[in-house]
Amino acid sequence: MNEIFEIEGKKKLSGEIVVRGTKNGALAILPACLLTKEPCIIKNIPLVTDVLTMIEIIKSLGAEVEWIDERTVKIQAQDLKLEPESILAKKIRASILIAGPMLARMKEIKIAKPGGCRIGVRGLDAHLEGFSDVGVIAEQDGGEKYHLKSLQNINNNIAILKEFSVTATENLMMLFAGQEGINEIHLSATEPHIIELGEFLKKMGVEIEGLGTHSIKIKGIKNLKGVEHSIWPDYIEAGTFISLAASTKSDLTIKNIPGEYMEMVFRKLKEFGISYKIKEDTVLIEGSISRLVGAKIQTMPYPGFPTDLQSPFAVIGTQAQGNTLVFDTLFEGRFKYVDELNQMGAKIIVCDPHRVLIAGPTSLYGAKIKTYDLRAGATMIIAALTAEGKSQLAGASEIDRGYEKIEERLQKIGAEIRRVRID
């Protein structure tokens, strides 16, 4: 059974919306619980399908998982299997994040080739080469399954990543956390969920230097402690709601934002002419009085502008006076949403696989549209709510991977959006 969203646009939104826990943070913290035999309690779990799939992957490895309340799980990984269920591992790209902790605990893991969004070439080379730097042997079974083995004590090693890969950094951090010794990661990523994972590992007894920099030194221990942790708020979701308010020219209060990790996002708001006020962990977007002007969006690794926000902010560009250039330096497959926006009346030219030029302002109109990945899905919801008339958006399940009960939350701030099941 497929599901679509039916959306009536051109409605001013108002009120408050609360940012949930970060999907990407949870996808690293949950596998890190495999590093210890002691119970870990993880709070503020975002109820999105990618995270729920990760929990099922952990269960399929033999860990005991108990829901304490709606957003809190207790995980105890005493006896583990060497391979998760393949059907689960293939569902999400983040399934590869069980490799680091499993290599630390079991010295071996077999895992089916991970799945995930179709947003360009995202191989596992950074993971495999990083593991190879510290003596992990990787074999492939017909290109569909990986078999990883750690045949030596890992100590006094330096893993040099080929790129600022977030998940490869996380995998190596978890591998090193469970080693008796000191190891380093160079060219490490610096995203907020890297820092969150580091803070979680420190609670477990690991010593870490260099969090937030491109060189991380980790002194691990054999017997890591079970701990409690509350998942940090999602800066990508916060940015998505900011784009929603600005694009629909609505006044919207967004609560529980991780403002310290959103400096480049707020800088971009100023460039677009978006009026806003920040107080502690709350931002008020004053869309009704904003005078939008075109700007340049260039994605970069953190602390640069996030690639996950370029498509939601492209909708702002369609409503802004003048031209907006979007330059995604990281992925070549993230502009599939452009055809959908143009179908709605946008004037966007694809210059090359990494750049698009948006002419604005243009009036958007309701249409039958679809999504190719979860961030593009959120983008199309924003566009449909900005547009005149009714839209039907196919691919609701793709959006569910990263945004929790999105239609229910948007209905509470005045959006006309409903989920419809179709044959």
40 flagged as catalytic: no
Nearest to 234 by CA among 16, 17, 52, 24: 24
Give the tens place of pLDDT for each residue, 279-307.
999 999 999 999 999 999 999 999 999 99
User: What's the mean pLDDT when you consider all of the chain?
Assistant: 94
The pLDDT value given to residue 77: 96
Mean per-residue pLDDT for 202-206? 98
Strands (E), 104-193: 108-112, 136-140, 145-150, 158-160, 181-186
pLDDT at 259: 95
Per-residue confidence (pLDDT) for residue 120, from 0 to 100: 43
pLDDT digits (tens, 9 = 90+) for 3-62: 999 999 999 999 999 999 999 999 999 999 999 999 999 999 999 999 999 999 999 999
Q: Residue 408: CB partners within 8 Å, gap ≥ 6? A: none
In this prediction, residue 393 has a pLDDT band, given cuts at 50, 70 and 90, of very high
Report whether pLDDT(195) > 90: yes
Q: Say whether pLDDT at 133 is over 70.
A: yes
Please state, for a pLDDT cut of 70, what percent of the chain lies above it: 98
pLDDT of residue 62: 96
- Active-site option among 33, 40, 117, 351: 117
State residue 128's pLDDT score.
87
pLDDT band with cut points at 50, 70 and 90 for residue 372: confident
Global pTM value: 0.95
DSSP assignment letter at 293: B
Which segments of the chain belong to CATH 3.65.10.10?
2-20+233-422, 23-230
Give, in degrees to the nearest 5, the angle at Cα 317 between 311 and 318. Answer: 100
Which CATH homologous superfamily contains domain 23-230?
A: Enolpyruvate transferase domain (3.65.10.10)
Annotation: CATH topology of 2-20+233-422: UDP-n-acetylglucosamine1-carboxyvinyl-transferase; Chain (3.65.10)
Residue 124 — φ and ψ, nearest 5°? -100, 15
